[in-house]
Structure formats: C-alpha cells, structure tokens
Structure 1
Amino acid sequence: MPELSPEEVYDLDRAHVFHSWSAQQKISPMVIADAEGSWVTTGEGRRLLDFTSQLVFTNLGHKHPRIVEAIQRQAVELCTAAPATAVESRAVAAALIAGKAPDGMQHVFFTNGGADANEHAIRMARLHTGRHKVLSRYRSYHGGTHLAVNVTGDPRRFASDDATAGTVHFLGPFLYRSAFHATSEAEECERALAHLQQVIELEGAATIAAIVLESIPGTAGIMVPPPGYLRGVRELCDRYGIVLVLDEVMAGFGRAGRWFAYELDAADGGWRPDLITFAKGVNSGYVPLGGVVISRAIYDTFAERPYPGGLTYSGHPLACAAAVATIRAMDEEGSVANAERLGREVFGPGLAQIAERHDVVGEVRGVGAFWALELVSDPATREPLAPTGGTSPQMAAVVEACKAEGLLPFANSGRIHVVPPINISDDDARLGLDMLDRALEKSAG
C-alpha cells in the first residue's frame, strides 16, 4: 500500500521537485497512483485511458507482466554492473536489437536515453568523418541535453541556442504547411530534397559530418515523410560523404507498425542509415535505456582506436533485462503487426471520420499507433489553434474536455497526438476515439 496520501504526494512534489519545461509556480501536476495496460489511475481514483503512452514510451502499456517479472528476476540475480563488464542481459539485449536492425549493423552502444543517444551518434559521426557541422530539420526534437537540443528544430531550442553547437537547420517535407508551394506528395518530396541539396552545397559539403533526422518527426507533428524522401536523403549523404543518423527514439520499436519507422521507405532493404538512435519503446520505458546501432564502417573507425565516450550506467542490467523481455514479448505477441493493423483498421478510419465531423480538425496524419490531429481555428487559412511551442484558451479547452471524458490526451502546440500503447485493445482504441470525438464537440464553443 502507498505510504502517502495523494494530497501528501502532491504537496511533497510541489515542495521539492523541479519539473522540466515548466514555469514552476504555474503547474499543477497530476498525481498518478496506479496504472495497468492502457489505463492510469489518478490520486483521486479516476481512471483515464492513456492515449499518450506517457511520453510515447509505454509501447506495451503499463505493468506488462513479462517486463515486470524480468526486472524483478534481474534485480535478484545481478542488480547492476559497470559498463566495461560483460553481463547476460546487456549482451542479449544488444543481440536482439541488432537482430531487428539492417544487415551490417551488428553493434550497439547503450546510453541512458534518447538525448544522449543522439549526442553520442553525432560524436561518432564527427570523429568518423573528421568534420564538425551537423544538419537537422526544422520541426524536429532530438533531446534536452546541450547538443541534442541545438540539433532540435523547434522552439525548445531557443533558450539554449548560442550558435556555437555546429548545427544548421533545413526545411523537411510537410505538405499540409508546405514551404515549397507543392501540391502533391511527389512535388513536396522532390522540392524538399532539392532544398536540402542546396543547403548542403551552400554550407560546404566538406564541413558536414552528419544529417540527423527523425524517421518520422514525433512531438513536432508526426509528419510521415513522402515515399522516397528518406531514400533521397541517403543518396545525398552518399554523394557528399555525410553520415546519416536516423533518430528512431519515438518512432521505433513498433510505434509506426515497423520495428524501425525508416523501413516504411526501405521496403526492399536497398539502403540503410549509418547510425540509428533509439530509446523509449525498446523497453517500454520501464527503466531508462537508449542507444546507438552502429554500421560496420563506423564500428571499424573505433576497432583499433578508442571511442572517447561512455556513461556510468551504459547498458544497465535492469534496463537491458526490460529490453530483452519487451522485444521477446513484442515478437511473440505480434505487437508490431498489431500496431500496423490498428493504424489501418482503427485509427486511420476512425480519425478520418472525426475530421469529417469537426471543422477544427485541419488534417489527420499518421501510421500504426502514431497519429496527429492538426487543429485549426480556420480551415480555409489553416490558422493553427495554438502557436508552435505554445498554447491557447481554445487548445486548453480541448485538453480539459478530453480529461473530463476520461481520456488522457497528448497535446503539443495546436495538435492532439493519438499515441496509445501499440497493444491497446480494439475496444479501448475505439472508446478513446469516441471520447476524443465528444471532447472536440464539447470544446467547440
């Protein structure tokens, strides 16, 4: 039983916990007392359907018995060990992750999360190429540490952007708000690639170590790249000797209906990135874990030359045991295929119907269990319901209406993201869509 009442938990939190991305005196954090499957229970005893997967990481939901049991067993057998040692859970986790990666990517460097995975991927790329500059797209998020947040392409970067991190941003494809005046996905793809090539040439290809891309941008809006875009970026990287880093921290491990989301543009297996970063869904976030999957060429750079980087908790046995259990459960339970089916049969059609009923929904986009509703105040001008990186009374009303219906929503700027666990039941998925539908109706005024 809990030792503290929900009121005591809240008071202790406000007295001592410094919350991220927040003005400390302007927040009132929800007390979560319990969670199971796709549901969380608040301190007041209310059950909310979790359409957030928290920060899009509980891919197998809360209290998955196989993951919980694996953590308990590992804690009894070997709770922790330094990263320079070889331990079973770390070795097996690396082998399982490499087994989901493309041919030729057989080594894994473990980190504590997605931000430091991206930091280390960039460090590897810089040392491998002898170059310093890094390109990444606007409307992206790569983490909150200094380099990762500077690579980020949204307003969360601004306060830390002192123009010394060696980062340059470019525009990626986003047809709904096209910067290229495109009228089709094919035009958007072609013009976005031409723009990127121009940026590379004007920045000086010989100065660029890496291009870092989310395979599908996550918190920036879940904009699935048009067919051929990622392949086109790969071709530009090959042409100019640039390392391609694909950030799969949010989109990977089943979220997009594939083990890695880039596979949506690599169905024939004809190309691969140089580095893949991951975290979140690799173990459903039960214990912090991230990492970098490394190509043979970059591995060879450090075969005889030390890699100058590491972390105290790299490949922590508890986190790796959770990853082993998660990946095996996803395999045996068909979770990745289920996410693809959910997108095709439940979320895609259901959200399209919601869009038809509500003028506030400007666009629905996504795949698998990874969707966004672009909310607008004017369908004709596509004026967003809230500014990028901000909120509005109208957006706050949508969020509050969702909670009143019993739905825990993921809101960012002028969007609602539909990102529940990838093993959510069809009944719960449809229930959540019904809740969202009613919330949009009630908040319309």
Structure 2
Amino acid sequence: MNHQGNKERIVTNDEVYQMDRDHVFHSWSVQGQLNPLVIEGAKGCKLWDYQGKEYLDFSSQLVNINIGYQHPKVVAAIHQQVDKLAMIAPSTANLARGEAAQRILAHAPDVFKKVFFTNAGADANENAMRLARLFTGRTKILSGYRSYHGNTGSAIVATGDPRRIPNEYAQGHAHFFQPYLYRSEFFADDESQECQRALTHLRHLISAEGPQSIAAILLETIPGTAGILVPPEGYLQGVRQLCDEFGIVLILDEVMAGFGRTGSWFAFEQFGIVPDLVTFAKGVNSGYVPAGGVLISEAIAAYFNDHYFPGGLTYSGHPLAMAAIVATLDAMDEEKVVEHAAMIGREILAPQLHQLATRHEMIGDVRGCGVFWAIELVSDKNLRTPLADDQMAAIKADLLSAGLLPFIAGNRIHIVPPCVITPDEVEAGLSILDAVLTKHAL
C-alpha cells in the first residue's frame, strides 16, 4: 500500500513495472530487453514486492547493504539531520561532516589524516587518481584486468573488465593480470607460484611502462565484481614493495570490500600492508544516502597544505550522507557487526560452501572471507569450462522464484548477504541454493 497526499491507494507490481519501462533509462543494458524486479520495501535482510512475495537478500543489492535495510538508528539519524540542516556547501565546516571523517579515520591506520568526501565509489577513484598524479607529478595509472573501479571517465578506463572497452576515452592507463590460481595466467601449480609470477609480471610491466611515468597502482584489495579473488599470501606485500621501490602511490579500492564486508573494517588489514590512499563508498553507510570518499595518508595530505587541489563536488560531504555514516559506524561498533560478519564467514559460509562443492559437480571453485564469497560454476570440472550464460540465467530465475535474491556475474554466484544476516537466514539461503543447483545438476 502507498500514500499519495491524503489518499490511500493500492499500488500493484504491474503498475510500478510499467511506469519503470515507460520512463526509466537503465544502466548497463539494452533497454528493450529489460525485465526489472519490482520491490516495494525491505527490512533487515529481506525485501518484498507489492503482492507480498518475499526475497532473502544474498546480494546486498550491489554489495552495499552491509548494515541491512531500514536500520532504525540510521533512518532516525537521517530524519534528525533533515530537521536540522538538509544541505550545505562543501566549503563550509559542518558537524556531521567532521564527525563522519572522524569516525572513518578512527577505524583506519594512524597514517591516514584526512578524508575527501565524494558521492560514490567511482568519483572516489577518480579523485584518488587525481591526488596521486598531482602528488607525484606523473601521469600513468596501472590497474588490474580483473577489476571494476566505476563508470566515470578515468575510473572506467582503470577498470579491467570488458565494460571499459566502449568507454576508453581517458588516457594514461595500462593494465596487468593479478593472481587468480583457478584460472592462472602464469601456468602456476600453487598459490606461492601464482604470487611470485604475478609479481614478476607486474615488475616487468612497470619497467616496460617506465617507472618514472607511473603515478599510482590502483587495486581492489579483493576484486569483487571480477570474482571475489582473495590475493595469495605475499602478493599485496609485494605490490607495496614495488611501489616503495619506484616511488609509486598505492591506491587500494575498498569500495566493495570495506566496512565489514570481509570480516574486518578494511580488507587490507588482513594482508599486513598500509596503502597511501584508500577509496570507499557502499558499506560506509550502506548507501542509505549516496556517499564515498578517499582516505588520504599524512604525506599526501601535507603536500596539499601549500599546493592547490583542483577538484570538488557540489555534494561532497552532504549532511544527510554524513549523518548516515556516523549512525552506521556507531551502530556497527555497538552491535559488533564486523565481528558478526567474520563469524558468519568463518563458521557457516566457509564450511557449508565447501560442503556444497563436494555435492555439486558444477561448483568448480569456492573462495572468499567474511560475507564476501563466490562459487564458480562449470560444465566440466576438469577443463574448468564456465557454465553457459543460458544455464546461469535459468539458475538465477529459479533462485528468484524460490525467494532468494542472488548476485550473479558471469559464471559465478556471489554469496554476499548483508553483514547482519543471521545464522538461520544463511542456512535458509544455502538450502535454496542447494535445491536449485540440484535441479540443474549436470
């Protein structure tokens, strides 16, 4: 049911669907082939449509609803901020913005001193690259082929996946292959070989591109959309060492992996390194109001004490987004959401997904941590042949029909529920997944 003015009226799925198809232009799609899911509301880890059909969310939408839907403390904070001050320019000093920066920095290593706020992850990566270029006086950005950094000018060109190809207008970018043992580019037999050969490959690329021309290496700490590719032990340390050797800024993109998703506040904490710049968005306030930003290390922040920064956004540090950040991080602290996500990954998802792989021949690989997992589906386990698109589409349709909202990319199902998901909800979702994979058994 919906309210319009003082009149109550019945809203249907068909009405909302048709309104969307008549008037809304969607991203990443051929408009005539769309069939969008209709959603009326959500709470916790569940969503529903106007007919009352319910879905358990194993996608966190675009892997951003870390604290779950309609968290009462975050919703209340947005209401309170609306009543006080709904909008103010970024050139002003504002309590909500200052507190949001303070809260974020409190969860980061001491080397980080400032936060530049953006509207999302894409423009966070844009501005991180800008900061690195200005700080070093160099122009090139190196990034991985297996990556997604956003759909704005430089961010989409830094992206490695094929969506960059029709969008390659920015200059000064080169790509390299990161480690991915299951589909190794380096003919490796184990994680150690994969790590060392990937680092050798990166060193060769740095040499070929000219170290003196490279401003930054931009990496997702754990590539998300590309497949939740947890780097092998020693890889990120090796990248850090290469950056130090050649005076290159290391930017870690934590837009998807940050703020509890991997079972720690930042994913890089699990790899024993500290980058120079960190980009974030999504989980910082679960997208209740769009927000992103860049964590800036002391050396880079100090450079701009007497050098001009040529960048800015009208809605940088928007008060409603900042209030949502403060409430989100406070609630995550109070409710131990990050620790809960780590427990769910360690005690439930890890063992049960690996158990699923023993029962289903089509599961070729299982990988992840926290509430950030992927299962890779194959038609031939020995050849590792990716499951065909039509088979993946049929699996997705059956998951939705059974009431599970999945995140599917290529031949993978990403298991990425909200960080607050309960053990019983995880069990229910995995039971649906098990049943659907059994139906589609090879």
Query: Partner of 1:398: helix, strand, or coil?
Result: helix
Point out where structure 1 has 5 or more consecutive residues left out of the alignment.
Answer: 387-391
Residue in structure 2 matched with residue 389 of structure 1 by the alignment = none
Distance 1:54 1:262 in 2: 23
Q: Is the 8 A contact 1:287 1:322 kept in 2?
A: yes
Q: What residue is the counterpart of 1:103 in the other structure?
A: 110
Equivalent position of 2:291 in the other structure: 289
Contact 2:261 2:372 in 1 (8 A): yes
- Displacement of 1:56 in angstroms is 0.5
Instruction: Identify the residue that residue 301 of structure 2 maps to in structure 1.
Output: 299
Is residue 2:20 matched to residue 1:28?
A: no
Match for residue 154 of structure 2?
Answer: 147
Q: Per-residue displacement from partner, 1:17-50 (whole Å, max 9, x unpaired)?
A: 1000010000011110010100010233210100
Q: Give yes or no for the alignment of 1:198 onto 2:204.
A: yes
- The answer for the alignment partner of 1:72 in structure 2 is 79
Distance in 2 (CA, whole Å) between partners of 1:378 and 1:255 is: 31
Contact residue 342 and residue 368 of structure 1 kept, 8 A: yes
* SS of corresponding position for 1:291: strand
Q: What corresponds to 1:175 in structure 2?
A: 181
Range with bigger deviation, 3-12 or 140-149: 3-12
Q: Which moved more, 1:3-12 or 1:176-185?
A: 3-12
TM-superposed deviation, 1:7:
2.0
1:229, distance to aligned residue in structure 2 (A): 0.9
Residues 53-75 of structure 1 show CA distances to partners (whole Å, capped at 9, x for unaligned) of 00000001101111111101111
**Alpha carbons 2:142, 2:173 under 8 Å: kept:** yes
Is the Cα–Cα contact under 8 Å of residues 12 and 51 in structure 2 kept in the other structure? no
User: What residue is the counterpart of 1:89 in the other structure?
Assistant: 96
Cα distance in structure 2, aligned partners of 1:363 and 1:5: 41
Q: Secondary structure at the match of 1:106?
A: strand
Indicate the residue corresponding to 1:381 in structure 2: 383
Tell whether 2:230 aligns with 1:224. yes
- CA shift, 1:399, in A, is 0.5
Give the alignment's TM-score, normalised by structure 1: 0.96
Amino acid at match of 1:301: Y
Q: Which contiguous aligned blocks of 4+ residues in structure 1 show a shift greater than 6 angstroms?
A: none
User: Contact 1:106–1:295 (CA<8 Å) still a contact in 2?
Assistant: yes
2:116 is the alignment partner of 1:119: no
**For each residue in 1:83-110, what CA deviation from the matched residue of structure 2 results, as whole angstroms up to 9, or x when unmatched?**
0111111100000101111112020000
Partner of 1:403: 400
User: SS at 2:141's partner residue?
Assistant: strand
Which of 339, 342, 346 aligns to 1:340? It is: 342
The residue aligned with 1:15 is 22
Q: Does 1:45 align with 2:47?
A: no
- Contact (CA 8 Å) 1:401, 1:442: kept in 2 or not? no
User: By how many angstroms is 1:182 displaced?
Assistant: 1.0
Determine if contact 2:121/2:293 at 8 Å carries over to the other structure. Answer: yes
Identity fraction in percent: 56
Which residue identity does 2:195 align to in structure 1? C
State the SS of the aligned residue for 1:212.
Answer: strand
2:361 and 2:441 in contact (8 A); partners too: no
Give the SS at the match of 2:252: strand
Aligned residues: 435
Structure 1 distance, partners of 2:37, 2:196, is 45
CA distance in 1, matches of 2:12, 2:355: 42
Cα root mean square deviation, aligned: 1.0
Structure 2's unaligned 5+ residue stretches are 5-10
Q: What's the counterpart of residue 365 of structure 1?
A: 367
**Does structure 2 retain, via aligned residues, the 8 Å contact 1:401–1:443?**
no
Question: Is 1:253 equivalent to 2:250 in the alignment?
Answer: no
SS in 2 for 1:32: coil
- The residue aligned with 1:356 is 358
TM norm structure 2? 0.97
SS at match of 2:340: helix
What amino acid maps onto 1:411 in structure 2? I
Amino acid of the structure 2 residue aligned with 1:369: V
| More deviation, 178-187/106-115 | 178-187
Q: Contact (CA 8 Å) 2:41, 2:49: kept in 1 or not?
A: yes
